[in-house]
Amino acid sequence: MAKPKSNRLDTIYAPATARGRSALAVIRISGPLSGDLLERLTAAKKPPERRASLRRLVDPETGEALDRALVLWFRGPASATGEDLAELHLHGGPAVLDGLLAALGRLPGVRLAEPGEFARRAFANDKLDLTQVEGLADLVAAETAGQRRQALAQAEGSLARRLAHWRETLIGIAAYVEAHLDFSEEEEIPKDILARSAARVAALTVEMAAVLAEAAAGERLRDGIACALLGAPNVGKSSLLNALAGREAAIVTDRPGTTRDPIEVALDLEGLPVTLIDTAGLNPESDDPIEREGMRRALARASACDLALILVDATCPLCPPDALAALPPERSLVVANKCDLVTGHANSEALSISVKTGFGLPSLLSALTLRARSLQGSEGCEPPLVTRARQRRALEEALSALQRSLTASLPELFAEELRLALHSIGRLSGRVDVEDILDRVFAEFCIGK
Ligand SMILES: Nc1nc2c(ncn2[C@@H]2O[C@H](COP(=O)(O)OP(=O)(O)OP(=O)(O)O)[C@@H](O)[C@H]2O)c(=O)[nH]1
Ligand SMILES: [Mg+2]
């Protein structure tokens, strides 16, 4: 796959900060004209590289003063995009920003950047691999500390480094095998080369499988865990949702059958994102079509959730509705509400709470956090490396190819599976480069061709 190279003719600019009144606003300019533009906007020579300099900014056409701001100048390739790059740290008023954007827009050879175009140029210029670009996007979108940790690690190259290591190792193995295929008459090629290569591949599959084993957790941390609140009508599901959300998100009444449509709120449990979903009470006896449709939606929603919080009424020790009996215990948590109405523990299996008095809510939050932590894989010190379905699928493809290679009957098939694995890894990191295999054959074996 040929990687798109940036169009070096274009110089692009864009505000890098959100619009609105703020202390500062940043405009970035990238491309060959960046230095000229900076000189025209400051009516002065380019400032020293990589150092903040205070400059008066003017409209190059009219000479009108637009702001007094810090400017930064990076000469490519030592810049975030790999191109000549300038940053203007303006005062954050909308009129200042608009004035600069209008002045830039009137200059020839410059255009407003498309979304993600700075990152795309960084990728095209080998400043970042694709997983780092994805990590950066996640870092900007991160809403909890756990998401931030995971995204920052990926943006800083945690997965990219691992992929580069696997790629190097595989190219090394492939080089041996290709050499065996092409030059098996040569004396310096050891005879047991395939057996040795297979042992190295087997070790790689173990490493990849370990990374894949954490992928689901990484995806859950990135996307958040979905937790459905389920139970019979009137047990206090909506009350609990409101209490945990800290606002009146759902309607609460003493009439069974109040909630009909699922209602979602976002929780941040010690840095772990959880979406809590209130659902219609499950009443198998109901013949009200609206209530039955509500129940259908509740169960459909629950089946797609990572976790079900099953609420029961502490005054009625009878169990959760039958419809919930099939939920696997590792995906459900039973909680008895309204414990203010009973003396002692009516339902000893369940965690006891009272939304009314607040009793047990801290324990429930701790239990939920524990579950979220194990589902999102944040028990270890390092966040999972794989965080997206795209990454997981590409890695699964690579792993399958390697596993197939181990059962290949012919050296040619073995080599072909290694190439497929390399291709998947190349797709994962955004750079596929099969020429490297041949380069390494010649470089490592010094065959002299
Ligand atoms: N005594 C007591 N009452 C509670 C408690 N929690 C909720 N309630 C009351 O129980 C009634 C039902 O609460 P909801 O939160 O609407 O119950 P629900 O499970 O959402 O009900 P549906 O939406 O109909 O399925 C309301 O009158 C609440 O005030 C509690 O801990 N103790
Ligand atoms: Mg409700």
The tens digit of pLDDT for each residue in 386-406 reads 998 889 999 999 999 999 999
Homologous superfamily (CATH) of 140-216+387-445 is: tRNA modification GTPase MnmE domain 2 (1.20.120.430)
Homologous superfamily (CATH) of 11-126 is: Probable tRNA modification gtpase trme; domain 1 (3.30.1360.120)
Question: For residue 71, which of 61, 82, 85 has the smallest C-alpha distance?
Answer: 85
Q: Where in the chain is the domain with CATH 1.20.120.430?
A: 140-216+387-445
Q: Where in the chain is the domain with CATH 3.30.1360.120?
A: 11-126
pLDDT at 434: 36
C-alpha to C-alpha distances, 163 to 3, 139, 225, nearest whole angstrom: 17, 20, 27
What does each of the 449 residues of the chain score in pLDDT, given as a tens digit? 344 444 557 899 999 888 888 899 999 999 999 999 999 999 999 999 999 999 999 999 999 999 999 999 999 899 999 999 999 999 998 999 999 999 999 998 899 988 878 888 888 898 988 889 888 888 888 888 888 999 999 999 999 999 999 999 999 998 888 877 766 555 555 667 778 889 999 999 999 999 999 998 899 888 888 999 999 999 999 999 999 999 999 999 999 889 999 999 999 888 888 999 999 999 888 888 998 898 888 888 888 898 999 999 988 865 667 767 777 878 889 999 999 998 765 556 678 999 999 999 999 999 999 988 888 776 667 889 999 888 999 999 999 999 999 998 888 889 899 999 999 999 888 876 534 432 332 232 222 11
pLDDT at 190: 60
Give CA–CA dist 384/386, Å, rounded.
Answer: 6
Give CA–CA dist 316/418, Å, rounded.
Answer: 61
pLDDT at 193: 74
Are the CB atoms for 303 and 332 separated by under 8 Å? no
3-state SS, one letter per residue, for 166-177: HHHHHHHHHHHH
Q: Where in the chain is the domain with CATH 3.40.50.300?
A: 225-375
* Cβ within 8 Å of residue 411, ≥6 positions away: 177, 180, 181, 194
DSSP 42-74: HTSPPPPTTS-EEEEEE-TTT--EEEEEEEEEE
Q: Closest ligand 1 atom, CA of 252?
A: 16
pLDDT at 344: 64
Pocket perturbation via mutation, ligand 1, pick of 229, 234, 279 by most ligand atoms within 8 A of CB: 234
pLDDT at 5: 44
Tokens 């003396």, residue located: 343
Q: Closest ligand 1 atom, CA of 242?
A: 15
CA of 239 to the centre of ligand 1 (A): 6
What is this structure's pTM?
A: 0.77
Pocket perturbation via mutation, ligand 1, pick of 235, 238, 239, 324 by most ligand atoms within 8 A of CB: 239
Which residue has a Cα nearest atom 30 of ligand 1? 338
CA of 238 to the centre of ligand 2 (A): 4
Q: Closest ligand 1 atom, CA of 355?
A: 31
Q: Closest ligand 1 atom, CA of 257?
A: 24
pLDDT at 449: 17
User: To 5 degrees, how large is the angle CA 22–CA 135–CA 431?
Assistant: 130
3-state DSSP assignment of residue 84: coil
CA of 292 to the centre of ligand 2 (A): 14
pLDDT at 8: 56
Q: Closest ligand 1 atom, CA of 234?
A: 21
CA of 270 to the centre of ligand 2 (A): 26
pLDDT at 42: 96
CA of 251 to the centre of ligand 1 (A): 10
Find the residues whose C-beta lies inside 6 A of ligand 1. 233-239, 252-254, 256-259, 280-281, 337-338, 340-341, 354-356
CA of 240 to the centre of ligand 2 (A): 9
Are the CB atoms for 131 and 429 separated by under 8 Å? yes
Pocket perturbation via mutation, ligand 1, pick of 229, 252, 254, 343 by most ligand atoms within 8 A of CB: 252
pLDDT at 63: 92
What is the number of helices (H) and of strands (E) in the chain?
Answer: 14, 12
Q: Closest ligand 1 atom, CA of 281?
A: 25
List, as own/partner pairs, every contact residues 241-245 make where C-beta atoms lie below 8 angstroms and the sequence separation is at least 24, other chains included. 241/265, 241/276, 241/278, 243/355, 243/358, 243/361, 244/276, 244/361, 244/365, 245/276
225-375 is a CATH 3.40.50.300 domain:
yes
* Cβ within 8 Å of residue 426, ≥6 positions away: 1, 167, 432, 433
Q: What is the mean pLDDT of the chain?
A: 86
pLDDT at 133: 85
- Give the helix/strand (H/E) hosting 273: strand 272-278
- Give the helix/strand (H/E) hosting 210: helix 193-213
Q: Give Dmax (Cα) for the chain.
A: 88
